[in-house]
């Protein structure tokens, strides 16, 4: 095998290898960037979940307070009705 044959075989083998490796390296870089972005999105999602849970707890507390106030108002209205009825009977 002469030096010229060796270079010819090297080119025949080297070009397809480079043609295969270059897209794989680009793909690898894209996958790495995608993973980094996905981690960022997941972190933001966790933060939003925590904030949403906190807001949900606040809404639940306010709902419970509202229900308590509604019950108290109904109780006062019933007392007022009973008081008015007893005053009308007493007149």
What does the pLDDT average to over 7-21?
A: 89
pLDDT band at 9; cut points 50, 70, 90? confident
User: Which string of DSSP letters, residue by residue, matches the chain?
Assistant: --HHHHHHHHHHHHHHHHHHHHHHHHHHHHHHHHHHHHHHHHHHHHHHHHHHHHHHHHHHHHHHHHHHHHHHHHHHHHHHHHHHHHHHHH-
pLDDT band at 91 (very low <50, low <70, confident <90, very high): low
**Angstrom distance (rounded) from CA 25 to CA 31:** 10
State both tokens at 35. 């993973």
């Amino acid at each position: 095998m002469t030096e010229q044959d060796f270079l010819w075989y090297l080119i025949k083998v080297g070009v397809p290898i480079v043609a295969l490796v270059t897209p794989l390296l680009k793909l690898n870089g894209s996958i790495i960037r995608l993973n980094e972005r996905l981690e960022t999105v997941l972190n933001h999602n966790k933060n939003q979940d925590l904030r949403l849970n906190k807001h949900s707890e606040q809404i639940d507390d306010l709902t419970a307070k509202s229900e308590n106030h509604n019950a108290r108002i109904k109780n006062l209205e019933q007392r007022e009705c009973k008081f008015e009825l007893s005053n009308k009977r007493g007149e």
